[in-house]
Structures are given as C-alpha cells and as structure tokens.
C-alpha cells in the first residue's frame, strides 16, 4: 500500500514540456498553468524538488516564464526524445533518492505518457495530476490517463496531491497553501 501514499520526503515534481510555442494549442492551457503554479508553490514550501523538461526547445521555445520565474533554480532537462527517461535523467532521480514522481505537463498523450510509462517501467511510482496535464484534444488526454492508470500510475488531482504532501492541517504551510487552493 505504501506506493499509493505521496509524501514530501520521497516526492519530486516533474513538469513536462509546458513550453512557449506548445501551450497556445493546448485545449485546457489556462487550467494546466494555474494548477502547475499551485503545485510549484506547494513543492517550494514543502521542500519537494522541482524538475522541468523541455522538448526540442529550439523549435518549441522554453518553459513559460509564468512557471520558471517561480523557481528560477529548478533543474531543467533538455530532450529530443518524447520520453525524458534517458540515462542522465534517471541517474539524477536516483541521486536525489526520490521514487515518487508527481507528473504534470503537455502533451499528455505524447511526452507525458511516454515519460510516465518509462518511469513506471524503471520502478518509480507515478502520480499523474490529471487536472495539471493537457493535450490539444480532450480525447487524447483521456486516453493517455486511462492507459497510464491501467499501467499502474496513480491518477490524482492538484488538491489531493497538495493535501497528501501536507499530511496535516496544524502547520503554517497548510494555512499558506489553503489560500492558493481555495
């Protein structure tokens, strides 16, 4: 059962390819950005490492400033493969000893899907934040979520992920994050 519990000591927030030239074609772009902003603030407050990936940044641009300005020192992995799980990326995850990966980003049926599948295949627990991922079409988003659920990913949402990381309400962090969520 432990693999179903998300906690700040074992978690990392992985934000996949929310890039300048990709975001305008994403169906639920505003929601994706807003939910990622909440998750970034929660991760910062609770000491959860944050990773950005950028796919073909020459063509698609960089991660949007609205997210990167919140955590300018976040680790960024550049890639041309759809899955971020190359040797450098997996080595980094093993070095920071985080086995529970909170996954967000775009596009859910391509890079999010392939990265999550590879993470599962490499023994990581994947917590896919359904309201913080996006695609051009709702059908492809839903299909990716369904497939990842079948593969063993835990499908969650922003509020559930934040409250899992918090664990209790009698902390200053709870009061701060409650303002962001409500």
pLDDT digits (tens, 9 = 90+) for 27-41: 999 999 999 999 999
pTM of the model: 0.94
Is 73 a known active-site residue? no
Please report which confidence band the pLDDT of residue 173 belongs to, taking 50, 70 and 90 as the band edges: confident
Query: β-strands 154-156, 11-16: how paired?
Result: unpaired
φ and ψ of 80, to 5 deg: -120, -10
pLDDT (0 to 100) of residue 64: 76
167 phi/psi in degrees, rounded to 5: 70, -30
Dump strand ranges (E) for 56-98.
75-79
Question: For 137-167, how does the pLDDT look when each residue is reduced to its tens digit (9 = 90+)?
Answer: 999 999 999 999 999 999 999 999 999 998 8
Residue 26: partners with Cβ closer than 8 Å, 6 or more residues away: 32, 106, 107, 134, 135, 136
Selecting among 79, 85, 131, 164, the annotated active-site residue is 79
Catalytic site includes residue 131: no
Which of 85, 111, 131, 164 is catalytic? The answer is 111
Task: Tell me which of 17, 85, 131, 164 is the catalytic residue.
Answer: 17
Whether 68 shows a pLDDT value over 80: the answer reads yes
Q: Quick one: tokens of 66?
A: 């609205």
Indicate if 111 belongs to the active site.
Answer: yes
**How does residue 121 score in pLDDT terms, banded at 50, 70 and 90?**
very high
pLDDT in tens, 2-31: 778 999 999 999 999 898 888 899 999 999
pLDDT for 1 beyond 60: no
pLDDT at residue 179 is higher than 90:
no
pLDDT at residue 13, rounded to an integer: 98
171 — pLDDT class (breaks 50, 70, 90): confident
Q: Which two tokens stand for residue 101?
A: 């990966």
Domains (ranges, CATH) in the chain?
2-181 (3.40.50.850)
pLDDT at residue 150 in the model: 97
């Amino acid at each position: 059962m432990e693999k179903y519990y998300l906690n700040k000591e074992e978690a990392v927030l992985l934000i996949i390819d929310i890039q300048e030239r990709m975001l305008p074609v994403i169906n639920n772009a505003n929601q994706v950005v807003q939910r990622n902003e909440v998750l970034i603030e929660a991760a910062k407050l609770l000491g959860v490492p944050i990773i950005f990936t950028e796919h073909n940044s020459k063509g698609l641009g960089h991660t949007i400033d609205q997210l990167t300005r919140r955590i300018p020192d976040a680790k960024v992995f550049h890639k041309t493969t759809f899955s971020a799980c190359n040797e450098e990326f997996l080595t980094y995850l093993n070095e920071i000893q985080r086995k529970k990966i909170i996954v967000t980003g775009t596009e859910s049926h391509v890079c999010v899907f392939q990265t999550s599948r590879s993470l599962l295949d490499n023994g990581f627990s994947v917590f896919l934040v359904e309201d913080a991922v996006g695609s051009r079409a709702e059908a492809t988003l839903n299909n990716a979520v369904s497939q990842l659920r079948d593969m063993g990913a835990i499908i969650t949402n922003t509020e559930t992920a934040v409250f899992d990381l918090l664990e209790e309400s009698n902390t200053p962090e709870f009061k701060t994050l409650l303002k962001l969520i409500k």
